[in-house]
Chains A and B, each alone.
Chain A
Amino acid sequence: DGGITQSPKYLFRKEGQNVTLSCEQNLNHDAMYWYRQDPGQGLRLIYYSQIVNDFQKGDIAEGYSVSREKKESFPLTVTSAQKNPTAFYLCASSPRTGNTEAFFGQGTRLTVV
C-alpha cells in the first residue's frame, strides 16, 4: 500500500544525545515536511524539502538537522542543541506542484529524560 511511514512510534533518549527520526514515503511525492506538535498546540514546521538534495528551514529549525539524499526518505535529527526536544514529531509529504493535500505519517513521540 502507498503511504508514509515514521519509525519508531515511541522513542526515549537521554539528555545530550542526538537522535534520528525516520520518515519514508512511497507516494512518489517530491515535497516532504517535518512538524513538531506540543500538547494542546497546532503543528509547527521544522524543515521542509521540495526536491532531492534541497531543503529549507521552517519556523523552528534551531537544534534540528535534516537530509534529503533520496526522494523517498527525509530523516530528522534532533541534536543536543535542541533545548526542549520532548514532543510529538510528524512527517508529511505532498506533490510539489498543484493544490493537493499533504499525507501524514503516524508520528513519533520522542521523550528525552
Chain B
Amino acid sequence: EPEVTQTPSHQVTQMGQEVILRCVPISNHLYFYWYRQILGQKVEFLVSFYNNEISEKSEIFDDQFSVERPDGSNFTLKIRSTKLEDSAMYFCASSVEGAPRTEAFFGQGTRLTVV
C-alpha cells in the first residue's frame, strides 16, 4: 500500500541551526502539507503546497520556515534558525486533490528536538 515516508524519524539539533525535514509523498498525489504537534498539544496546520507554490500557510509558518519540492519525489520543510519552541513532531501529508475533497494521507512524523 502506498504511503507517505518521512526522514529522519528523529532529529536533534542545536538552537540556531538549520534543519531540513524530508518527505516523500505518495507518487500520484498533487497536494502536500506540513503539520506539527508540540508534545501534549494539538496537531497544527503549517502549510499547503500545490503546483510548486504555497497555497496556504498558517501564522506559525513565518519567515524562518520554507518548503520546497526539489525534484519529482521529495517535499522538504526547512527551518532556518531553530528555536527551542520548534521542538515538536512534524507530519507531512499528501492528497490527490485538495483535502478534504480527497483523503489526506499522513507520514509517520519526524520528531524534532532543539537543544
Q: Is B one of A's binding partners? A: no
Which A residues are closer than 8 A to B by beta carbons? Answer: none
